[in-house]
């Protein structure tokens, strides 16, 4: 008896899976007859109808109008993603294409640009790539350049290749020897350290200088700390907005809030921020906090040069998306970007 119950449930799940697959393919509500024709479930339309009724009762599917086919709900997609589908690995030509496309990059900007375009093209959706975040990275080098007697340029270079620069207006003239000394001391202590740890390591530094130079040193350090702390500066790159036109028929209504969301870096950052670091995150429809994205799904994952992720990337598309394929593409791209970053 218990066996039969499970049997039943298995079939319902199969029906749900079939509905999701068909709907994603055709974009039209799917009916019982079409279902049995296209997938060879070994039962009749009537049986499927009963299962559909049950699935609707449970809230996994929904019919837009009384005599139309069924459409998966957010809950239905959720179940599909969690239990019914597996991430579809990229084919080996696809892998080669990815690798080839990313290998040509010359600097960090280029890596990010290429990545985001690639992802948009692979998934035919909107792609988002976050620049390797300052917080997670380590200091590769800090450079001080005297531009004018009392003007110093500070350049911060991270292990991920990111460069941040700041102008410093010093309280007085800065001697070249002092600057060289300061540069050496800063780098001796900070190089290789994680950015958030750096201020603690440099705190005592002004004490090592002569009284006269301390204001200058302090000013430079203050600017450096500011640059280190400025997490807001996390930048994001977008591509594939033109793919939004494939969204649906009730077009302007759906697309406008999405375009607005995409313009707000803050929204995007928060969106990616919700990604749990290593594992791939899928947010479906109303699961997204930002309501402009209530009819979209976000697939995101962290990427990084080593084991740990320094930033995130992802894809935004309609809830009706090809989840296995999208997840496969996102995962593959994230891996390769990680490798590229590790190499450089």
Partner DNA sequence: TCTGGCACTCGCGTGTGCAGAGTGCCAGGG
Partner DNA sequence: CCCTGGCACTCTGCACACGCGAGTGCCAGA
Interface residues with its own copies (CB under 8 A)?
106-107, 140-141, 143, 145, 147, 153, 155, 157, 163, 165-167, 239-242, 244-245, 251-252, 255-256, 259-260, 262-263, 344
Residue corresponding to tokens 């559909």 = 52
| Rounded-to-integer distance, Cα 288 and Cα 269, Å | 13
Position 43 contacts DNA (CB under 7 A): yes
Q: Which is nearer to DNA, 2 or 106 (CB)?
A: 2
- Cβ-proximal residues to 177 (8 Å cutoff; 6+ apart), any chain: none
Q: How near is the Cβ of 188 to its own copies at its closest, in Å?
A: 14
* Token pair listed for 233: 């500066």
Do 95 and 103 touch, CB atoms closer than 8 A?
no
* 3-class secondary-structure state, position 331: helix
Instruction: Tell me the per-residue interface mask from 50 to 89 with DNA, x by CB under 7 A, - otherwise.
Output: x-xx--x------x-xxxxxx-------------------
Of 14-33, which residues contact DNA (CB under 7 A)?
Answer: 29-33
Query: Contact between 294 and DNA (CB under 7 A)?
Result: no
Q: How far is the CB of 43 from DNA (least distance, A)?
A: 3
108 and 237 Cβ atoms separated by less than 8 Å: no
Rama region for 12: left / alpha / beta (φ>0; ψ in -120 to 50; rest): alpha
CA distances to 63, 205, 344 from 195, rounded to whole Å, are 52, 17, 19
The 3-state DSSP class for residue 327 equals helix
List the one residue from 2, 3, 40, 42 that touches DNA (CB under 7 A): 42
Q: Which does 163 bind (CB under 5 to 8 A by kind): DNA, its own copies, none?
A: its own copies
The CA radius of gyration of the chain, in Å to the nearest whole number, is 26
Which of 54, 153 has the CB closer to its own copies?
A: 153
* Positions that interact with DNA (CB under 7 A): 4-5, 7-8, 11, 29-34, 42-47, 49-50, 52-53, 56, 63, 65-70
């Amino acid at each position: 008896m218990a066996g039969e119950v499970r049997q039943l449930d298995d079939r319902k799940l199969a029906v749900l899976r079939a509905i999701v697959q068909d709907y994603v393919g055709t974009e039209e509500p799917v009916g019982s007859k079409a279902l049995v024709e296209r997938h060879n479930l070994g039962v009749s339309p009537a049986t499927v109808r009963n299962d559909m009724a049950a699935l609707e009762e449970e809230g996994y599917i929904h019919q837009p109008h009384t005599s139309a086919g069924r459409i998966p709900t957010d809950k239905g997609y959720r179940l599909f993603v969690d239990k019914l589908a597996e991430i579809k690995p990229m084919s080996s030509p696809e892998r080669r294409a990815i690798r080839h496309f990313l290998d040509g990059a010359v600097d960090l900007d280029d890596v990010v640009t290429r990545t985001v375009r690639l992802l948009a093209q692979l998934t035919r959706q909107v792609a988002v790539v976050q620049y390797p975040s300052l917080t997670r990275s380590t200091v590769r080098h800090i450079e001080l350049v005297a531009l004018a007697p009392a003007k110093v340029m500070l350049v911060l270079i991270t292990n991920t290749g990111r460069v941040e620069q700041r102008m410093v207006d010093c309280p007085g003239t800065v001697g070249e020897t002092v600057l060289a000394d300061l540069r050496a001391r800063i780098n001796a202590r900070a190089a290789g350290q994680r950015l958030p740890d750096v201020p603690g390591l440099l705190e005592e530094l002004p004490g090592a200088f002569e009284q006269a130079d301390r204001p200058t040193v302090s000013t430079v350090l203050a600017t450096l700390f500011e640059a280190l702390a400025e997490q807001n500066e996390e930048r994001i790159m977008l591509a594939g907005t033109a793919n939004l036109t494939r969204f649906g028929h009730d077009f302007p209504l759906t697309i406008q809030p999405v375009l607005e969301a995409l313009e707000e870096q803050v929204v995007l950052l928060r969106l990616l921020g919700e990604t749990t670091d290593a594992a791939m995150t899928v947010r479906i429809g109303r699961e997204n906090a930002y309501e402009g994205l209530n009819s979209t799904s976000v697939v995101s994952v962290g990427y990084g040069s080593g084991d740990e992720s320094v930033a995130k990337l992802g894809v935004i598309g309609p809830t009706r998306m090809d989840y296995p394929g999208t997840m496969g593409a996102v995962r593959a791209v994230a891996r390769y970007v990680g490798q590229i970053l590790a190499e450089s």
